[in-house]
Structure 1
């Protein structure tokens, strides 16, 4: 992810450190315990089961510690059943460790934006669990300057900074300085947990995203940046890791792998969890004239879909997109849901209408911004035709150039490397056909 065809294979210092240390920990985030999705009690229980599966995995793999990078809870003011879910799982972990004759596995946590206490309450529910000895909450202090909280476990030093919102960007340099000062000449493997979104990782521009070039200020003092906040998984440059939410919390996340990271001496491996399946169906309705035609179309569509192989009944969303040719009140919602029920036996079905003729709309749900850009650029290159035989390289080069531009790389360097890539394509084409091919000139300032 994020590699460029021009650069040589870069030596990854993270994996060098991993191979020389006896690392063994898991990193998850965004469990959102207490969320009653679609007002279904089953979904409330699903989230607790997924949290238990995460903790069980850590126990069975004998990890040294467990990281939760924010948003353990869905709300700041959780109810008693939600608190009991967390209490029982964490107590179970301690009991199992004791019965196996080992020290309790530290569960090290930071507060995400959903976990923070209301000002009037002062203490968050994570602080309550910390006071009961069920987890270790890392919480920075901002009185008389920034004071970082950290804990040492074996060869690792774990720093944690709670969700800072709009203050995150300006805090990054200071956090780096504080870590440098605390570590001094320490050779411990340094982990920093934070809760924010990195720029370019969401489907759309979101206020408060942190550019990667800002994070580079932490690169010299942090070996593993353990993130939470965005519900889609991403990893970057061999040291930035965001596992995303282990459950599908929105159908915008449909089709995205769900899980967490397991970090060992061999590096960081993403572990997928088995959760309740989600299914998204999309019907183009602009050519449909009657409600009966719509029912026939959906029946034909679902009959061509493979059955869902799961012990858990799925959540199904049906999106009707395009221009509706009859009153919305005449949409045969009950018939459509019955057709879906006969095929998939869902726990819940949602039917939505999207008034749009955008050809990309129905096919980008759950995709990251980078994946959407790749899809659209690929289609544009194929439609243009001139570089059809080099579509992957052209798309890769364009995305790479965008990345460097966002990092404020020099314009001359970007142009030089793009020109080198074009010359490689040109030379390859000359080897397959005779005659001159049209040359593309790269001139400084040329938007092409």
Structure 2
């Protein structure tokens, strides 16, 4: 038996205000659906952050509906949970529920195990870090069910595991139910699989299907997992998707012309025009000269971003040596600035994504809710 594990599709993301980048996300999503159909998987799991915002545009909603419809037409069932990007803090019905109600896909995010084709499936929507203690009992309950079940047991979560990313980690692997044979994860955007002795199966992150704004511009691969559960052990196989190429270059101001030549040679002939970022280090630079050199790439790239970093700035900056995920560095700096991991988590992981999406009303609701919670804790 074979199933696809897809996560962090972020349908509706319009990166850098570019219609082409929005279409890129739809293209790789459809690649994942097409590949799953061609490989005759038995079912598909979507591990959260289906959409980029809780109130996605019509195109994003239709793209997801068409993907699920095509799976159904090929007798492939699918299951989903919700990530933080899917859940509105203003009390409204999440858009993905529509697919459940229309029987295009089955929602499994409330922690109630179901049996499907001899497999036990259980899932939880995104759990905020402050809510984790409330789920210890629920984890224990489904672990007892899994322990008694003889077939494969799959747990679907949209959480950061500390052993994978200490900044984005919300729970540790030891917090998880022990008796599942595969942990289908979402939330972290890099691909990684780890097996722990205290768990019966691997924890697997397929990562996002395309680079998102928070990840910056970098040369990387994106995709999803096809997981073989024909035998006792779950075996995830990486399936790469054809994403738009992205490159980040560093150069000295004096060597910019040579670097532009090298970049031109590298990107000429690519099937899709790439996204390019150039970090230029130097003193007394002339921006007119830089713009003239960058203009040589205009016909070869979709977008080209450049920035200047003087030695004084670069010695104390993260511009040139930034982490793989910008959010991690923002979170670390926020902890330093605010002196509180809890406050930094609220600002970076909850409030900032909503503000960045222009959801002012929802951001106000989040602030009010957090303030009421703060007052309640003060009284205790």
Correspondence for 1:32:
10
Correspondence for 2:284:
325
Cα 1:253–1:118 shift into 2, 3 Å: same
Whether contact under 8 Å (2:162, 2:173) holds in the other structure is yes
- Normalising by structure 1, report the TM-score: 0.64
Alignment partner of 1:173 out of 116, 136, 139: 136
Correspondence for 2:257:
296
Q: Which runs of 5 or more structure 2 residues have no equivalent in the other structure?
A: 196-200, 328-380
When the two structures are aligned, how many residues end up with a matched partner? 314
- Normalising by structure 2, report the TM-score: 0.75
Correspondence for 1:395:
none
Structure 1 SS opposite 2:250: strand
Alignment partner of 1:352 out of 304, 307, 326: 307
Q: Is 1:186 matched with 2:186?
A: no
Whether contact under 8 Å (1:295, 1:332) holds in the other structure is no
**Separation in structure 2 between the aligned mates of residue 172 and residue 225 of structure 1, nearest angstrom:** 17
**Separation in structure 2 between the aligned mates of residue 185 and residue 296 of structure 1, nearest angstrom:** 66
Whether contact under 8 Å (1:69, 1:111) holds in the other structure is yes
Tell me the CA shift for residue 336 of structure 1.
3.3
Alignment partner of 1:254 out of 201, 218, 221: 218
Q: Is 1:68 matched with 2:68?
A: no
Correspondence for 1:414:
none
Q: After the TM superposition, which residues 6-405 of structure 1 pair with which residues of structure 2 at under 5 Å, given as runs?
A: 23-95=1-73, 97=74, 104-121=75-92, 123-140=93-110, 148-167=111-130, 169-171=132-134, 173-183=136-146, 185-202=148-165, 205-206=167-168, 209-215=170-176, 218-219=177-178, 221-237=179-195, 239-250=202-213, 251-252=215-216, 254-264=218-228, 265=230, 267-285=235-253, 293=254, 295-302=256-263, 305-307=265-267, 310-321=270-281, 324-326=283-285, 330=287, 332-341=289-298, 345-354=300-309, 355-357=313-315, 362=320, 366=324
Cα 1:269–1:171 shift into 2, 3 Å: farther
Whether contact under 8 Å (1:194, 1:227) holds in the other structure is yes
**Separation in structure 2 between the aligned mates of residue 307 and residue 252 of structure 1, nearest angstrom:** 19
Whether contact under 8 Å (1:252, 1:365) holds in the other structure is no
Cα 1:81–1:183 shift into 2, 3 Å: same
Structure 2 SS opposite 1:81: helix
Correspondence for 2:331:
none
Q: Which runs of 5 or more structure 1 residues have no equivalent in the other structure?
A: 1-22, 98-103, 141-147, 286-292, 370-448
**Separation in structure 1 between the aligned mates of residue 289 and residue 185 of structure 2, nearest angstrom:** 44
**Separation in structure 1 between the aligned mates of residue 130 and residue 318 of structure 2, nearest angstrom:** 35
**Separation in structure 2 between the aligned mates of residue 314 and residue 307 of structure 1, nearest angstrom:** 7
Whether contact under 8 Å (1:24, 1:65) holds in the other structure is yes
Cα 1:167–1:188 shift into 2, 3 Å: farther
**Comparing 348-357 and 126-135, the one that deviates more:** 348-357
Q: What CA RMSD, in Å, does the superposition of the two structures yield over aligned residues? A: 2.7
Tell me the CA shift for residue 313 of structure 1.
1.2
Tell me the CA shift for residue 111 of structure 1.
0.2
User: Larger C-alpha radius of gyration, 1 or 2?
Assistant: 1
